[in-house]
Structure 1
Amino acid sequence: MIPVPTPALKGMKALVVGVANEHSIAYGCASALRQLGADLALTYLNDKARPYLEPLARSLEAPLLLRLDVGHPGELEAVFERISAQWGRLDILVHSIAWAPKDDLQGGLLDCSADGFAKAMDISCHSFVRMARLAAPLMVDGGTMVAMSYHGAQKVVPNYNVMGPVKAALEASCRYLAYELGPRGIRVHPVSPGPLKTRAASGLKDFDLLLNEATQKSPVGELVDIMDVGFACAYLATPYARRITGGTLYVDGGVNIMG
């Protein structure tokens, strides 16, 4: 029998990166982790964003709310230094950030600039690798790392453009990190939610059409929400998922199985 505390994540320490508002996937993950007993550290992008995040952090009883723009040198290291100083360890890492310059995101891949591609790859993919490098030494008793992907990593999704190759690189990075960190008891998961109405997704061209198509194709006949994604993420961090690592977990109502 697997010994599981009640609630299942009681006392675990979790860093969730990417909460923008109460509608974001990262907020769903943070909320689910908290409901299962985890203590939270959240990040905010800049001083403009902080007033919006403070009430969310209070509602989730998060003792740590830390500034983090992964594109600014030193900020990522400062986050992990603070976590190390306050908690001395980390059990769960959730990476839910993605960004590309608007012109490169809304244009086709053929017209994507080298600079735009590099920035999208750095913020949306390599930042997870950098986080993993800093988080691993704090996962003294093993741990769980989760990165948010999308079906456009595996199949062509019209108008997803540069983010398709970037998310493909993110999923591949998760697989290689799962291999490298497995001996240390650390499991790494790419999670692929179905289309969701989030602020980040609103930057995609014809996103409403994508939502409608997903609803029509889904075997369950409806879209997923942020809590569906959040509880899937929380499950992966529990002992019930102790032998799962590296594979992409779809949380999309079955859309990915449809032709």
Structure 2
Amino acid sequence: MTQFPPMTASNEVLDLTGRKGLVVGIANEHSLAWSAAEHFRNAGADLAVTYLNDKARPFVEPLAQRLAAPILLPCDILRPGQIETIFETIKNQWGRLDFVFHSIAWARKEDLHGRLTDCSADGFVEAMLVSCHSLITMAKLAEPLMTNGGSIMTMTYVGAEKVIDHYNVMGPVKAALESSVRYLAHELGTRNIRVNAISAGAIKTRAASGIAHFDEILNGAVHMAPLYRTVDSCEVGRTALLLASDFTTAITGEVLHVDAGFHIEGMASPPKWFDPSGSA
């Protein structure tokens, strides 16, 4: 059984000094992955960072420099070999890995904006490969590097649990991701590797901008959430830091909602009294 030192007033801190982490999904400074990376780094962790492609690199590279990230590599899930190269580089440079933050999702525009009923088979497969199976692949590659155990985190949304208008194909895709979290947690638990998901509330990010009528979703969250507000990326980043730390060594297979409580009120459409102008 793994033994942990007793906590005292002097060491009650989230300290990742000496930890090695991989952050996948930074597109720009508004990305949830960026907020998580900032918190990891501020807590002392060394980070490997990825970018999607050459077009994205100019936006991500300056952020990687701010993190003093010694590893910066492309990660296009649909390009064979890129994920393997990332983990091989980490193995050669660090020899181990302590945590992975997975924050990538994608669907074809016509499938994301159209009805699930009309989603093409090829589009569904691509959305699943990028948004869900990539986590499974990363878990497989991270397992042999997490020699002292570790933490794997991914991002999801309440649309995986309940129908949210305009979320469309990403609903079942994220549902598959959440189920994968539970199965991965079950399978990797013997290696002391924890797997969890953060279900973030509606936040304006580059990825969210691809969802039709996103402003309606955002305004609806303000009116429906018990805290009557949205959340910000910093709140998500702090939760990621918590999951990467020793403060959550007994938490695995969970979906942690960071959404001002919206998930307990979520519904397919805004109520009749809902005024998207914000005047209600």
Aligned to 1:42, the other structure's residue is in SS state strand
Given that 1:9 and 1:238 are in contact with CA atoms closer than 8 Å, whether structure 2 keeps it comes out as yes
Query: Structure 1 counterpart of 2:256, which letter?
Result: L
What residue is the counterpart of 1:127 in the other structure?
A: 134
Structure 1 gaps, min length 5: none
Query: Structure 1 counterpart of 2:60, which letter?
Result: L
1:2 Cα deviation (Å)? Answer: 4.1
Given that 1:2 and 1:240 are in contact with CA atoms closer than 8 Å, whether structure 2 keeps it comes out as no
Whether 1:137 aligns to 2:147 is no
Q: How does 1:57-76 map to 2 (within 5 A)?
A: 57-76=64-83
**Match for 1:117 among 99, 107, 124?**
124
Given that 2:14 and 2:247 are in contact with CA atoms closer than 8 Å, whether structure 1 keeps it comes out as no
TM-score, L = length of structure 2: 0.90
1:6 Cα deviation (Å)? Answer: 5.5
TM-score, L = length of structure 1: 0.97
Given that 2:14 and 2:245 are in contact with CA atoms closer than 8 Å, whether structure 1 keeps it comes out as no
Q: How does 1:140-151 map to 2 (within 5 A)?
A: 140-151=147-158
1:221 Cα deviation (Å)? Answer: 2.2
Q: How does 1:187-198 map to 2 (within 5 A)?
A: 187-198=194-205
Query: Structure 2 counterpart of 1:97, which letter?
Result: I
Whether 1:79 aligns to 2:79 is no
Q: In structure 1, what is the Cα distance between the partners aligned to 2:14 and 2:212?
A: 41
What residue is the counterpart of 1:181 in the other structure?
A: 188
Q: In structure 2, what is the Cα distance between the partners aligned to 1:6 and 1:84?
A: 28
Aligned to 1:126, the other structure's residue is in SS state helix
Higher relative contact order (Cα pairs below 8 Å, separated by 6+ residues): 1
Q: In structure 1, what is the Cα distance between the partners aligned to 2:83 and 2:246?
A: 28
Q: How does 1:149-168 map to 2 (within 5 A)?
A: 149-168=156-175
What residue is the counterpart of 1:19 in the other structure?
A: 26
Q: CA 1:185–1:2 in structure 2 vs 1: closer, same or farther (change >3 Å)?
A: farther
Q: In structure 2, what is the Cα distance between the partners aligned to 1:62 and 1:124?
A: 24
Instruction: Provide the alpha-carbon RMSD of the alignment.
Output: 1.2
What residue is the counterpart of 1:99 in the other structure?
A: 106
Whether 1:237 aligns to 2:238 is no
Q: In structure 1, what is the Cα distance between the partners aligned to 2:191 and 2:96?
A: 14
What residue is the counterpart of 1:220 in the other structure?
A: 227
What residue is the counterpart of 1:171 in the other structure?
A: 178
1:20 Cα deviation (Å)? Answer: 0.1
Given that 1:92 and 1:237 are in contact with CA atoms closer than 8 Å, whether structure 2 keeps it comes out as yes
Whether 1:53 aligns to 2:53 is no
What residue is the counterpart of 1:208 in the other structure?
A: 215
How many residues are treated as equivalent by the alignment? Answer: 259
Q: In structure 2, what is the Cα distance between the partners aligned to 1:240 and 1:176?
A: 22
50-59 or 149-158, which deviates more = 50-59
Q: In structure 2, what is the Cα distance between the partners aligned to 1:137 and 1:213?
A: 43
Q: How does 1:33-44 map to 2 (within 5 A)?
A: 33-44=40-51
Aligned to 1:80, the other structure's residue is in SS state helix
Q: Percent identity?
A: 56
Which structure: larger Rg?
A: 2
1:52 Cα deviation (Å)? Answer: 1.2
Given that 1:7 and 1:37 are in contact with CA atoms closer than 8 Å, whether structure 2 keeps it comes out as no
1:5 Cα deviation (Å)? Answer: 8.1
Q: In structure 2, what is the Cα distance between the partners aligned to 1:77 and 1:129?
A: 13
CA deviation string 1:109-134 (max 9, x = no partner) = 00000000000000000011001000
1:82 Cα deviation (Å)? Answer: 0.4
Q: In structure 1, what is the Cα distance between the partners aligned to 2:12 and 2:45?
A: 11
CA deviation string 1:208-234 (max 9, x = no partner) = 000001011122222111111011011
Q: In structure 1, what is the Cα distance between the partners aligned to 2:30 and 2:21?
A: 19
Q: In structure 1, what is the Cα distance between the partners aligned to 2:62 and 2:80?
A: 27
